[in-house]
Structure 1
């Protein structure tokens, strides 16, 4: 598949890294020669320097023979014009535009055909939705759903007082009293695919797959109680805070936003009349304490600086805030972030890229292509959902008789609405949903790719 990526910033750069590693034919367009040259040195891609809205530049990038264009520049208007121009030059082209301004949402929905848009992505809105999901289940550091909500993959941290500390996975069933699967463990920034003899240690981040009902049983037997969040403090008044405040207020959650810029604070006060807007520096202890930090149920750090978010989150954790969520722009420092008490990490860039990659894999229209793809364990592993069909190999064969590729694990099978954590006797059939977790560098495009 031939793909043009217009805009080589955070999202564009991450897409280039991931898609070039999977062997896609990538052409980059950017106005900055230094950015272009840096990507050419790091990846096996083509590049064109210039304005991605110009027909001449798009033609030089060979848009007429391209399957997909992804516009990820920093300006919504440029992304829209780029997609509209490219689609006019190639009516068979699929286009994806990153649109961040909430004022454009309704207009783009009604004019998507005029703009030639196949898909729009909004990293900030996706981050807000993800944070709201985490706030509903405070114990989970990350939570992904599969099989129409029947299956979940969650991230938990083994704390100092956890009953899982120094427990081998062979002993897990005796503690949680239900069938769950620990499909990956991240320890000191490195991901391992554990076997039954693996012993959990304090600080481990474990990734557990199970039917939704089993997770509730597991939490109960671990002595973990989910408390409903009633009051949340948001540090930073950017787009994520705006979207998140809207969602939380609809859920009846009390929201306070601390924003340092007076103009932005006044703007938020007009946009969010049901939220409390405080003009102040969220990194100052006196501001946080005056706003009731010690009494809030959750604190979310959403400033534009990773370092500031981490510092505020660490202070909130130290003060005993029940739930802390930290927005980061980079996940490359996951080994450092794992050692810090910053609660759950949310990266808008990664969420956006995962959506785009899922669309690309579905676009390939391969037999058994992934229905959904989720990055886990600091982008070092993937959880993928597939639908088995008549062309899927080994249908009806017990898993104990099937050899899969190294670093590939069949984590869950859903058959006629019934979900199970598979054993050696389990098997999948035509129409079943199969959840697969991969670690390492193995690339899976379709279900048949998991087999040796």
Structure 2
């Protein structure tokens, strides 16, 4: 597939890495020659310097031979104009634009045809949705939903007090009293696909698959007491804070936003009438103490600096805040982050790029493509949801007789609305939802790709 990525910033660079691994034919457009040089050194791509909204630049990038344009510059208006111009030059073209300004949301929805847009993505809005989901189950570090909410993959940390410390996976059922599957373990930054003899150790992060109905049982039997989030402090008043506060308004959750810039604080107060806006520095201990950090249920660090977010989150953890969520722009330092007590980590850039990669895969394999794709363990593992159809191999066969590729695991099957964690006797039929987890470098586009 031929793809043009317009804008080689954080999102563009991440997309280049992910789509290069998918085997796509990539052309990058950016006005900064140094940024393009860095990408050329790392990846097998074409690069064109210039304004991606100009017909001459798009023509040089061979827009008429391109399947998809992804406009991810730092300016919403340039992204829209680029998509509109490109679609005029090639009406078969698929286009994706990154649109971050909340003022454009309704307009984009109503005028997608005029703009020639196939899809708009908003990293900050996606991050706010992810954070809201984490607040609903504060006992989990991460949470991904499949099969229309019937199945979840959640991340838990084995700390010194965990009942799972020094326990083998074969012994889990006797402790948890419900059927789950540990599909991956991250230990010291290394991902392991465990078998039944694998023994969990303090510091491990485990990724658990289970029907959604079992999640409350899982938390209860692990001794993780969670109560409804009622008081939330947001550190930083950027776009993620705006979207999140907007979603929480009217839900019975009390929200405070601490924002250092007085003009931004004033704007937030006008846009969020039910949210308490504090003009101050969230990195100061006295400020956090005066706003009741010791009594809040959740603290979320959403400033524009990763280092500052991490420092505030560390202090919140040490102050006993039950739920801490940290926004980061870079996941390259995940090994360092794992060793720090900063709670759940959310990366808007990664969420946005995963959505785009899922769209690309659907274009490449229209029949049998994954319904949803989630990157877990900081992108080292993928969880994919498929619908078995008449073209799917091995339907009706017991899984013990099905040969699956190395580093691929079938973790859940939903048949006629009933979800099961499969064993050797399990089978899937046409119409069933099948969830698989893949580690390593294997790229899976269709369900049949998992079979050896």
TM-score interval (norm. to shorter)? over 0.9
How much has 1:405 moved relative to structure 2?
Answer: 1.1
Alignment correspondent of 1:276 = 276
Alignment correspondent of 2:156 = 156
Alignment correspondent of 1:204 = 204
Secondary structure at 2:107 match in 1: helix
Q: Determine the C-alpha separation between the residues in 1 that align with 2:168 and 2:365.
A: 41
1:384-403, aligned counterparts within 5 Å? 384-403=384-403
Alignment correspondent of 2:420 = 420
How much has 1:253 moved relative to structure 2?
Answer: 0.6
Given the alignment of the two structures, is residue 90 of structure 1 paired with residue 72 of structure 2, yes or no? Answer: no
Alignment correspondent of 2:327 = 327
Given the alignment of the two structures, is residue 225 of structure 1 paired with residue 225 of structure 2, yes or no? Answer: yes
Q: Tell whether the 8 Å contact from 1:415 to 1:431 is kept in structure 2 after alignment.
A: yes
Which digits, 9 at most, give the CA deviation of each residue in 1:174-201, with x for residues without a partner?
0011110000001111111000011111
How much has 1:250 moved relative to structure 2?
Answer: 2.6
Count residues with an aligned counterpart: 452
Q: Determine the C-alpha separation between the residues in 2 that align with 1:154 and 1:137.
A: 10
How much has 1:442 moved relative to structure 2?
Answer: 1.2
1:321-360, aligned counterparts within 5 Å? 321-360=321-360
Q: Tell whether the 8 Å contact from 1:331 to 1:379 is kept in structure 2 after alignment.
A: no
How much has 1:338 moved relative to structure 2?
Answer: 0.4
Normalised to the residue count of structure 1, the TM-score between the two structures is: 0.99
Q: Determine the C-alpha separation between the residues in 2 that align with 1:301 and 1:174.
A: 38
Alignment correspondent of 2:288 = 288
1:103-142, aligned counterparts within 5 Å? 103-142=103-142
How much has 1:221 moved relative to structure 2?
Answer: 1.4
Alignment correspondent of 1:256 = 256
1:20-35, aligned counterparts within 5 Å? 20-35=20-35
Q: Determine the C-alpha separation between the residues in 2 that align with 1:427 and 1:294.
A: 50
Q: Tell whether the 8 Å contact from 2:365 to 2:445 is kept in structure 1 after alignment.
A: no
How much has 1:367 moved relative to structure 2?
Answer: 2.9
Q: Determine the C-alpha separation between the residues in 2 that align with 1:428 and 1:273.
A: 51
How much has 1:8 moved relative to structure 2?
Answer: 0.5
Q: Determine the C-alpha separation between the residues in 1 that align with 2:185 and 2:368.
A: 28
1:66-105, aligned counterparts within 5 Å? 66-105=66-105
Q: Tell whether the 8 Å contact from 2:365 to 2:446 is kept in structure 1 after alignment.
A: no
How much has 1:115 moved relative to structure 2?
Answer: 0.2
Q: Tell whether the 8 Å contact from 1:326 to 1:342 is kept in structure 2 after alignment.
A: yes
Q: Determine the C-alpha separation between the residues in 2 that align with 1:225 and 1:150.
A: 22
Q: Determine the C-alpha separation between the residues in 2 that align with 1:293 and 1:260.
A: 17
1:288-327, aligned counterparts within 5 Å? 288-327=288-327
Which digits, 9 at most, give the CA deviation of each residue in 1:367-412, with x for residues without a partner?
3211100000111100000111111111111111111111111010
How much has 1:158 moved relative to structure 2?
Answer: 0.8
Q: Determine the C-alpha separation between the residues in 2 that align with 1:392 and 1:44.
A: 34
Secondary structure at 2:249 match in 1: helix
Alignment correspondent of 2:192 = 192
Q: Determine the C-alpha separation between the residues in 1 that align with 2:445 and 2:225.
A: 38
Given the alignment of the two structures, is residue 174 of structure 1 paired with residue 186 of structure 2, yes or no? Answer: no
Alignment correspondent of 1:378 = 378
**Structure 2: tracts of 5 or more residues without a match:** none
Alignment correspondent of 2:216 = 216
Q: Tell whether the 8 Å contact from 2:236 to 2:260 is kept in structure 1 after alignment.
A: yes
Alignment correspondent of 1:369 = 369
**Structure 1: tracts of 5 or more residues without a match:** none
How much has 1:240 moved relative to structure 2?
Answer: 0.3
Indicate the RMSD between aligned Cα atoms, in angstroms. Answer: 0.8
Secondary structure at 1:250 match in 2: coil
Which digits, 9 at most, give the CA deviation of each residue in 1:400-449, with x for residues without a partner?
11111111110101111111101011111111111010111111111111
Normalised to the residue count of structure 2, the TM-score between the two structures is: 0.99
